[in-house]
Amino acid sequence: MSNFNFNFEIKASCNKTSARTGVFHTPHGRVETPRFMPVGTLGTVKGLTSSQINSTGASMILSNTFHLHLQPGEKIIKESGGLHNFMNWDKPILTDSGGYQVFSLAKLNNVTDEGVEFKNPRDGSQIFLSPDKVMEIQRDLGSDVVMAFDHCPSHMSNQNEIEASLKRTNLWLERCVNQKLNSNQALFGIVQGGKYPHLREMSAKYVCSFDLPGIAVGGVSVGESIDLIHNVINFIPKFLPLHKPRYLMGIGSLYEIALAVSNGFDLFDCVLPTRLGRHGTAFFNDERWNLRNARFRNDFEPIDKTCSCETCKSYSRAYLHHLIRNDELLGLTLISLHNISHLIRYTNSISKAIQDNCFTIDFAPWKRSSIAHHTW
């Protein structure tokens, strides 16, 4: 277990919801919550340098154990001095365990209680990942927060299948806990259980029994309806300890972030900002603008006059339209930079609103009529 004190301090609480602000202490610095975490699957937030990511206000990023194991391999990263050195990022890093790939690459894998046999999507070779192996890889990567290996079932799975996957997730968590990590790493367990409340409750109580430094909730935003996502967000927190950071995996839309914060969640991640950015779509308030559209051809305003990101300070919608229409790489970089900045700005605004007792579930601070407009 970790020798570093991964302490989580609650700084302020909302008087109308379960929202809170806090500080999560890690060996590579503080993470003020609530906070959106950009996704750098392969040790890179697509299209952005470390200094550009830093300029967005990001304080922790996420990388993926499975993909880094395939390329370049954890031994090379360890030889470089760890993932922080390898990608030139001196702030906290969280590594996902590869459990999501059990779901997303279901056609390429075979799952047993011992682990998962994958067909390498790069070259077709066979790869076997067990909870023990996943912990070993993350130990070599040297991330601050290590995720337990879990079995993320499809939202189409029936109750018997989800019960079996949850039993396996619990078995794997115990094996992860028993593996030795570096003294400056923290293990988070993951709550699963699909759409079944009694299985979610059972999973939450089991994960909490290990008294780990933090708890994640997985198996959301994997293709299920928005109502089911909301059900999980609203249901789970009552079973989680107040004094631990709560990480809701795979959530990046504004309303769902606000709903999750109102229920006491602290950390969020999603590939959406860069995935949309690569296709020319920019965030503006709660809208998504496709900058390929002809209406932006002669629009010389920034994406958002109120945004302080480098894209909005320096470039017009017309220029971004030009870049995207001509498949220039700079276009995806600039729009991704803005999109990430927008989500981090949003969680910063939520934090300020909680402190000022003006946070609401329908949080939209860009509206002049909002009591939280001053936070934007």
Q: Any idea which residues carry the catalytic annotation?
A: 96, 269
- Read out DSSP for 39-100? B-TTSS-TT--HHHHHHTT---EEEEHHHHHHTT-HHHHHHTTSHHHHHT--S-EEEE-SHH
Q: How far is it, in rounded angstroms, from Cα 360 to Cα 358?
A: 7
Beta bridge partners of 109: 118
| CA pseudo-torsion sign 310, 52, 10, 29 | negative
Do the Cβ atoms of 116 and 128 come closer than 8 Å?
yes
Beta strands in the chain (DSSP E): 8-13, 20-26, 29-33, 35-37, 61-64, 93-96, 109-112, 115-119, 126-129, 145-147, 186-191, 214-217, 246-248, 267-269, 281-284, 287-290
Q: How far is it, in rounded angstroms, from Cα 248 to Cα 286?
A: 20
| Rg, Å, the chain Cα set | 20
CB atoms within 10 A of CB 286: 13
> Which tokens in the block code for residue 290?
């496709």
